[in-house]
Structure 1
Amino acid sequence: MPHTLEWKVRLHLFEDDERTTKAHLILNTGTTELTGHGTAHCHPTDANVPEIGDELAAGRALNDLARQLLKTADRDIEGMGAPQPHGREVAG
């Protein structure tokens, strides 16, 4: 029973005057929408390289979203009455 889906992801990056970059990531699965957030701060003594802030903030937003997606999958597995496999990490 193969199937194909397309999930859409939108990533918005914002940099403020205080050398902080924020990422807002939205995953739309067609049936649900999850939002991840990430932030990066440039230390005052470091060179201001916006690309690094973008990468850090986006990576952190992706991590946030991944944790949420794993939690959702765990809840769905539990809802199906499936036992928790031994040694499986519960998303936290």
Structure 2
Amino acid sequence: MTRTTEWTVRIVVFEEDGTTKARAVLDTGSAKMTGRGAAHCNPEDVDIPEIGDELASGRALKDLAARLLREADRDLAGVGAPPPPARRPTVYGWADASA
């Protein structure tokens, strides 16, 4: 079966009380889902608004992705599919370091 659908994501970035905040809204045409992110400028750093926008937007997209995956997991469980395997943390270093 061939199928094509288009979903849109709209990101709104704003500053409030010294914090850059972003809201990423996914619109599937039949539902909407929102992710949120925030960034704070260290008072000792140079204030470059674009960096705050990038951080807050990236965090909002990451939150949206996690929400979308949790929704997919719930939908899969609803049709009787087994839960996803437990994720093992990535271990760096020598092969026997995790033993």
Percent pairwise identity: 57
d(CA) in 2 for partners of 1:84, 1:75: 9
d(CA) in 2 for partners of 1:69, 1:31: 14
Please tell me the root mean square deviation across aligned C-alpha atoms, in Å: 1.3
Match of 2:60 in 1: 61
Q: Shift in Å at residue 23 of structure 1?
A: 0.1
d(CA) in 1 for partners of 2:86, 2:7: 26
Q: 2:6 matched to 1:6?
A: yes
Structure 1: state its 5+ residue gaps: none
d(CA) in 2 for partners of 1:5, 1:76: 18
Structure 2: state its 5+ residue gaps: 88-99
Q: Shift in Å at residue 17 of structure 1?
A: 5.5
TM-score by length of 2: 0.82
Aligned residues: 87
Aligned amino acid, residue 28 of structure 2:
T
d(CA) in 2 for partners of 1:77, 1:53: 36
Q: Which consecutive aligned stretches of 4+ in structure 1 deviate over 3 angstroms post-superposition?
A: none
